[in-house]
Amino acid sequence: METDQCGGCGPIEHPSRAATLHLLGNHPVLDFTNTSSGRGSAQWLDHLQQPADLAAWAVHAGVIAPDLPVGVVSGKDLRRAIALREALYRTLLCAARRQTPDPADVRVIAAEHGRCLEVAALRGVSGSPAAPALGWHWPQGGGAAILGPLVTAALPLLTAVPPDRLRCCPGKDCGWLFLDTTRNGRRRWCDMAVCGNRAKAGRHRAIRRLRPEQEECGE
Ligand SMILES: [Zn+2]
């Protein structure tokens, strides 16, 4: 399925894994940004290709209940989701790097927040006395039922998370975002079993390539 398209022009063609992607971000908004990887590289992947991919990911990630009819997620919803996702990704990267985000991205997030709240209902929720008394709901379903929970969760994430705990995986063609919740704060990879091992294998290959030269020098 993969083609030789220019990595700088857009994502390569590949089957979407939206319904099975690993949820490693420790936050639904970070998992949402991780529906794409390797942005701008030759291995740029985007798993939100069809409206059904967005619905499948939202169910998989627990953002919406499984009984949301897939048909109510439209192509327009998908375009809104991708615009929001990319604005969030760039803004979160800025937060992690202690940089000021692009005002255009902030406008995209704020506009989507406004659109979602316009069709939201604020209802009482049952739970423990310590739990919040009210919660946002999107009774009409559709794209707002997916983007609403994400964009309302994104605002506190942007302003409340310590930047040294918000990380971008340095793995080749990755760039996934995650919250480092380890006690020692030394999580480096989105997934040690994938990007961590790939980097380790790359280092071993580099050492093997160098070894004959080193042995020659030592003789
Ligand atoms: Zn990674």
Per-residue pLDDT of 106-140, as tens digits, reads 999 999 999 999 999 999 887 788 888 899 999 88
CA atoms of 161 and 133, how far apart (whole Å): 23
Total-model pTM: 0.87
Are 176 and 104 spatial neighbours (Cβ–Cβ below 8 Å)?
no
Are 158 and 146 spatial neighbours (Cβ–Cβ below 8 Å)?
no
Counting beta carbons within 10 angstroms of the beta carbon of residue 144, is it exposed (0 to 12), middle (13 to 18) or buried (19 or more)?
buried
Report the separation in Å between the CA atom of 168 and the middle of ligand 1, taken as the mean of its atom positions.
Answer: 8
Q: Minimum mean pLDDT among 2-6, 20-24, 66-70: which range? A: 2-6
Q: Is 116 inside a domain boundary?
A: yes
Report the separation in Å between the CA atom of 8 and the middle of ligand 1, taken as the mean of its atom positions.
Answer: 19
Per-residue pLDDT of 167-218, as tens digits, reads 999 999 999 999 999 999 999 999 999 899 887 777 777 777 766 555 444 3
Q: Is 98 inside a domain boundary?
A: yes
Report the separation in Å between the CA atom of 215 and the middle of ligand 1, taken as the mean of its atom positions.
Answer: 34
What pLDDT, on a 0 to 100 scale, did the predictor assign at position 54? 96
What pLDDT, on a 0 to 100 scale, did the predictor assign at position 111? 98
CA atoms of 84 and 210, how far apart (whole Å): 45
Q: Is 32 inside a domain boundary?
A: yes
CA atoms of 96 and 78, how far apart (whole Å): 26
Per-residue pLDDT of 51-74, as tens digits, reads 999 999 999 999 987 777 666 899
Are 16 and 51 spatial neighbours (Cβ–Cβ below 8 Å)?
no
Q: Is 57 inside a domain boundary?
A: yes
Query: What CATH number is given to the structural domain containing 131?
Result: 1.10.3300.10
Report the separation in Å between the CA atom of 174 and the middle of ligand 1, taken as the mean of its atom positions.
Answer: 5
| Cβ within 8 Å of residue 181, ≥6 positions away | 26, 165, 187
What pLDDT, on a 0 to 100 scale, did the predictor assign at position 7? 45
Report the separation in Å between the CA atom of 169 and the middle of ligand 1, taken as the mean of its atom positions.
Answer: 5
CA atoms of 29 and 153, how far apart (whole Å): 7
Average pLDDT over residues 99-111: 98
Report the separation in Å between the CA atom of 175 and the middle of ligand 1, taken as the mean of its atom positions.
Answer: 6
Q: Is 14 inside a domain boundary?
A: no
Report the separation in Å between the CA atom of 22 and the middle of ligand 1, taken as the mean of its atom positions.
Answer: 11
What pLDDT, on a 0 to 100 scale, did the predictor assign at position 113? 98
Q: Is 63 inside a domain boundary?
A: yes
Report the separation in Å between the CA atom of 2 and the middle of ligand 1, taken as the mean of its atom positions.
Answer: 20
Q: Minimum mean pLDDT among 30-39, 72-81, 193-202: which range? A: 193-202
Q: Is 79 inside a domain boundary?
A: yes
Tell me the pLDDT band of 219, cut-offs 50, 70 and 90.
very low
Which amino acid does the sequence have at 85?
R
- How many structural domains comprise the chain? 1
Q: Is 45 inside a domain boundary?
A: yes
Q: Residue 119 belongs to what domain range?
A: 28-188
Q: Within the chain, how many helices (H) and strands (E) appear?
A: 6, 6
| Cβ within 8 Å of residue 89, ≥6 positions away | 33, 36, 39, 177
Report the separation in Å between the CA atom of 178 and the middle of ligand 1, taken as the mean of its atom positions.
Answer: 9
What pLDDT, on a 0 to 100 scale, did the predictor assign at position 211? 67
